[in-house]
A and B are shown apart, each in its own frame.
Chain A
Amino acid sequence: MALARNSDSEEHLHSTFASRYVRAVIPRFKMPDNSMPKDAAYQVISDELMLDGNPRLNLASFVTTWMEPECDKLIMESVNKNYVDMDEYPVTTELQNRCVNMIANLFHAPVGEDEAAIGCGTVGSSEAIMLAGLAFKRKWQQRRRAQGLPTDNPNIVTGANVQVCWEKFARYFEVELKEVKLSEGYYVMDPAKAVEMVDENTICVAAILGSTLTGEFEDVKTLNDLLAEKNAETGWDVAIHVDAASGGFIAPFLYPDLEWDFRLPWVKSINVSGHKYGLVYAGVGWIVWRTKDDLPEDLVFHINYLGADQPTFTLNFSKGSSQIIAQYYQFIRLGFEGYKNIMENCMDNARRLREGIEMTGKFNIVSKDIGVPLVAFSLKDSSKHTVFEIAESLRKFGWIIPAYTMPADAQHIAVLRVVIREDFSRGLADRLITHILQVLKEIEGLPSRIAHIAAAAKVSGGEEKTAKMSLEDIAKYWKRLVENKRNIVC
């Protein structure tokens, strides 16, 4: 593309949109040879980004999308602090330690008055889970070696509803994943089935507090009790990790009597996402261990810091300090009372949304009232239209609401899921209901895409299929289009 060559000395006069920079092809695969003015660079990028979804209307995600301006200020001020320079930024390091202790206490870790909790800040629950899994794997290996038994086949027992990072952990750290299958109407891990699957090679059982799919809390107490029995019978020492990525900042405030944390003796580590209901922007998670013994020493690297030992155990090294500081801000700014109020608001708004959806008469509510504040719902009749179409149509209004199928063995069920975050007010809930009603009306007017697909399938040589099977085919078709959407929904 020919660039008009205005004299260089006048370049600085041009407003960005008058300059040649908005006529040039934006570099995609190779670095450009020349520099461009910062205003132009800013504008060009900012403009492209307008076409991203609006984070606050992204109802797919649990991850925080709004913080108070005072916190934004703190974030910007610390954006150039490399968190890992403990020696240079001792206050920031201490803020992390304070957060770890506060969270450990929130989870009833058996920590003495002057004792420091064992845990650390991570970039998210993925890193936290990998660290927890690594600790279990190492402990199990040590135990087995001491007994002279083979250590080459570790496995971990979870529900099929686990978030993808458990699959990553299993694949990258060479641990077999033994999944307890779900069933229609029961979308979390069944504790009894889980304990049955446990064997001598099991490094731990992972329970989820706040299943990604339906927001349900798994019954950690029953799991604990059954596991205690099994351990007593077999002499094994299989423990529990609770993936409280979403639920960890909900249960203590809304359901303080629910026993799911370190109050249960077999729970040895817990992870929680600071960036979900910890109410911080993306990029911070926390992992806490019950006691020092649950974290094998040889995984910990010791750094001397201000003359004191600062143990570290993380996969990431350099990273920003902003989110850690933001997490501490939230803890002291909100306190117990503030978090409780926010979670209660979320639950109220979730209830309002649920009622509105039920009132349309077209949906079954798949999520429960107790759990993470979200509403998961499926169509009562999906023979003509699917939830995937509804999701597509809602995009027109700006809403991003994911539709996905359940994992094995309930793949024929497809749901829409709306996550209620702190910044999803009642007004937005009412508006969403209005839009859903509109979409339903519009879709009813359209010819069914499904009949079309089923017809095509028949023509291509398929036999008569039962109603359930064709639903599965349809689900598979859409699933192929949005393959592994589970990965995106977290």
Chain B
Amino acid sequence: MVLSHAASDSDVSVHSTFASRYVRTSLPRFRMPENSIPKEAAYQIINDELMLDGNPRLNLASFVTTWMEPECDKLIMASINKNYVDMDEYPVTTELQNRCVNMIAHLFNAPLGETETAVGVGTVGSSEAIMLAGLAFKRKWQNKRKAEGKPFDKPNIVTGANVQVCWEKFARYFEVELKEVKLREGYYVMDPEQAVEMVDENTICVAAILGSTLNGEFEDVKLLNDLLVLKNKETGLDIPIHVDAASGGFIAPFLYPELEWDFRLPQVKSINVSGHKYGLVYAGIGWVVWRNKEDLPDELIFHINYLGADQPTFTLNFSKGSSQVIAQYYQLIRLGHEGYRNVMENCRENMIVLREGLEKTGRFSIVSKDEGIPLVAFSLKDNSSHTEFEISEMLRRYGWIVPAYTMPANAEHITVLRVVIREDFSRTLAERLVMDIEKVMHELDELPSRVIHKISLGEVKSEDNGDNMVVTVKKSDIEKPIEIINVKKSDKPIFC
């Protein structure tokens, strides 16, 4: 593109960005540009492109916090240039992390003495937290096997097929076999009995989820604990439990304080929770807590001397921002138990409003339960002429981002739409969403059905009787719905 050099260079600073030459040039994509451009132009160009991203607050796919109070935004910006790992230079920030760890450990009823400090650490998210927890279990198991003179080359971990992708990552990267308990229609979480059956001498731990990604359900950790205790007694093994409370860890203590899922159960040795989900902090913070020192092998810990005291660290990441740790502390003291409880109760109320609104349309079955994460997962009662994926697509036009996906094995024929209720999803938004869903259903009813072969677990059958038309369509049209379903099956990573 020819740049006209009409203005003299001395006038460059005078041009408003949209009058300048910078908005006429193509933005560099693969190579760094040779020359600098004014900061205003750089800001404007990037800001404008980003307008085409989805609106985070209308992203109902995600559990991750999308709004914080302005006071907290202020704290975040003020600490954005603090490298969290410089413990020596930023001792207060380091202490704030320690305080958060202790508060969370107490929230989870860790068996700590009055003056004892909790064992745990802040991470970038639950992925890192889970990898650290898994690593600790693997190392403990290896040490035990070595001491017993038994082989330790085949560790495995037992989980439900509903696990979030980071468990698969952990298994693949750290060379642990993943033994998944399959789901079934109507039962979308890990069955404790089946899990305990799959346990063997090479099992490093059983991972239970408090707040399944798919439908928000809490797994029955107490039952798992009791069955595991029995199995351990029979076999002489000592299989522990890790609770992936990424979503549920900041809900259960406030909405269901009587529910026993945490360190109150003796076999639970470590718990992770996402600060950036119902911890109510922006993306970039998670926490992992161990029951006590023995559950975290010392050889994995790097010791740093800090203010004359030992500061043990065990993280995969090193340099990172301090903002989210400070924001987490802000939330913990700003809201307190009372505040978190109020927020969670509001979420639950709004979830019920949405659920009832959807049920009233008469077109949907609700797949999620009321107990659990405040989310609504629902599927069409009749998806012979239109699918949940179409609804999801059409809702985008109204600005809503509502994902549709198929269940994992063995319930792949079930497709659901899922709306996550976050702190900033008010009642008015819930009602508006119901209205927009109704509008979408009307529109879909008018449209001809995109044709569909009945798909049952991978088989493609075409109906050929008097009532159903045999429709010959172009290959690309047939492929599309199958492709969407297959593609969405592996789409687990996006839902976290």
Residue among A48, A98, A283 with the highest chain B CB neighbour number at 10 A: A283
Q: Which 9 A-B pairs have the closest CB atoms?
A: A333-B42, A41-B334, A483-B305, A70-B43, A42-B71, A35-B339, A338-B36, A32-B336, A304-B487
B180-225: which have CB < 8 Å to A? none
> Residue on B with the closest CB to A43?
B71
B52 contacts partner chain A, Cβ-Cβ < 8 Å: yes
- With contacts A72-B80, A488-B87 known, is A102 near B73, CB below 8 A? no
CB distance from A122 to the nearest CB of B (A): 8
Q: Are B317 and A52 in contact (CB under 8 A)?
A: no
A467-490 interface code vs B (CB 8 A; 1 in, 0 out): 000000000000011111101101
CB distance from A256 to the nearest CB of B (A): 13
- Size bracket of the B interface: 35 or more
B435 contacts partner chain A, Cβ-Cβ < 8 Å: no
B125 contacts partner chain A, Cβ-Cβ < 8 Å: yes
Contacts of A485 in B (CB 8 A): 88, 304-305
B76-97 interface code vs A (CB 8 A; 1 in, 0 out): 1111111111111111110010
Q: Are A332 and B103 in contact (CB under 8 A)?
A: no
A230 contacts partner chain B, Cβ-Cβ < 8 Å: no
Q: Are A101 and B30 in contact (CB under 8 A)?
A: yes
- With contacts A42-B330, A282-B84, A329-B43 known, is A123 near B320, CB below 8 A? yes
CB distance from B482 to the nearest CB of A (A): 13
Contacts of A482 in B (CB 8 A): 88, 305
Q: Are A77 and B47 in contact (CB under 8 A)?
A: yes
Q: Are A282 and B54 in contact (CB under 8 A)?
A: no
B446 contacts partner chain A, Cβ-Cβ < 8 Å: no
A255 contacts partner chain B, Cβ-Cβ < 8 Å: no
Binding site for B on A (CB under 8 A): 26-36, 38-39, 41-42, 44-46, 48-49, 51-53, 55-56, 58, 60-61, 63-68, 70-92, 95, 98, 101-102, 105-106, 123-127, 130, 134, 152, 164-165, 167-168, 171-173, 273, 275, 281-283, 298-299, 301-304, 312, 315-321, 323, 325, 328-329, 331-339, 400, 402, 480-485, 487-488, 490
- With contacts A91-B52, A303-B491, A316-B125 known, is A61 near B299, CB below 8 A? no
CB distance from B171 to the nearest CB of A (A): 12
Q: Are A76 and B317 in contact (CB under 8 A)?
A: no
B151-196: which have CB < 8 Å to A? 153, 165-166, 168-169, 172-174
Contacts of B62 in A (CB 8 A): 82, 85, 88
B50 contacts partner chain A, Cβ-Cβ < 8 Å: yes
Q: Are B490 and A335 in contact (CB under 8 A)?
A: no
Contacts of B106 in A (CB 8 A): 29-31
State A483–B125 Cα separation when bound (angstroms).
28
Q: Are A76 and B77 in contact (CB under 8 A)?
A: yes
- With contacts A102-B31, A124-B319 known, is A484 near B329, CB below 8 A? no
| Residue from B56, B89, B329, B487 within 8 A of A60 (CB atoms) | B89
Contacts of B77 in A (CB 8 A): 72, 75-76
Contacts of B387 in A (CB 8 A): none
- With contacts A312-B493, A317-B126 known, is A74 near B80, CB below 8 A? no
A-B contact list, 13 entries, CB within 8 Å: A27-B103, A44-B333, A45-B96, A76-B73, A87-B494, A98-B29, A317-B496, A318-B496, A319-B283, A483-B303, A487-B302, A490-B85, A490-B318
CB distance from B56 to the nearest CB of A (A): 5
Not counting A30-B103, A55-B82, a sample of 13 additional A-B residue pairs whose C-beta atoms are within 8 angstroms of each other reads A45-B96, A52-B93, A76-B76, A85-B62, A90-B53, A123-B317, A282-B83, A301-B169, A304-B488, A315-B128, A315-B173, A335-B36, A484-B302
